Chains A and B, each alone.
Chain A
Amino acid sequence: MILTPRIVIRLVLLGVLTVLVQISFFGRLSLIGASPDVTPLVVMTIGLLGGTVSGAVAGFGIGLLLDCLLLQTMGASGLALLGVGYISGRYREGFGRPRKSAVALLGGGLTMFYVTAFGAIQIGLGVEADVSALVIRDAIVKSVLGGLLAVPVYLGIRLLLRPALIDDRPSARRPFAPRPLDERS
């Protein structure tokens, strides 16, 4: 991903919009008894498109804003989402551009990672909550929903950041290939 000032502005706006939509829309939905969480999916997509640094920075920033707006412990979401961005970035750097099935699997897996990491941080900070069956069920349902939403989120953000993506750029000119000698004349 080529980070021009315009692309950075788009990324910032994407982050802000993600947090607002997560708080105002997805957080207030109830699907199979749980609310879908798109923040790890957006961070994952930025990581998959831009690599580890982009993913980690996006995760930290989105997480920090989320903590501020939800009046949570500052840095907790940031740290968990930072991990999501870093892992997805490493995947991109190791395996290249992912297939849609891989995006769905990553979406589910990284949502589970985020929920678990965030829960672990909260417990570490002394929040007195039991890891009940309800919490585990919530994490599983969130992961399934994350897997389902991952592909549309990935495709949408890829479209938004297309000008910055090297892979998606149409080739400027055909590569040079000299014609064989017997065809000349």
Chain B
Amino acid sequence: MTQAADLYQDIILHHSRSPRHFGTLDAYTHHIKADNPLCGDSYELFLQIGDDDIIRNASFEGAGCAISKASTSLMLDAVIGKSVAEAEALFVRFLCLVKEPGSPESQDESMGKLAAFSGVWKYPSRVKCAILSWHAMHDILQATHQKNTQ
């Protein structure tokens, strides 16, 4: 089971069993669905973004596999308190971490608990699970950015 440890690290198992920021958010400013109809992963993300472009709060609801659920939980943990630009930068770095063998991000301590996903590239069919909610968040952040630059 050494391989399983690559994918299902304790932190991922923990967050899939007891996800953080799970539930609806009353005062959200942005809302999006993250669906993968192919495997049935289906989440709703709620983001509260202040006028200062800081992600004040966030939550999610829904169901899916351990990888997608833990990834969503840890993503929200990581971006709450960050600016839209910082969250966008993290999105790009997380994609590298998940997709690329031996990426610089996998060695970077600033990735924190997200480093738990550094073995996902060995399971190409599971990459989409790890990045599902990240892409949904990216869609929100892009829309925010475009609105602000208009």
Q: Do A and B bind each other?
A: no
Interface residues of A (CB under 8 A from B): none
Interface residues of B (CB under 8 A from A): none
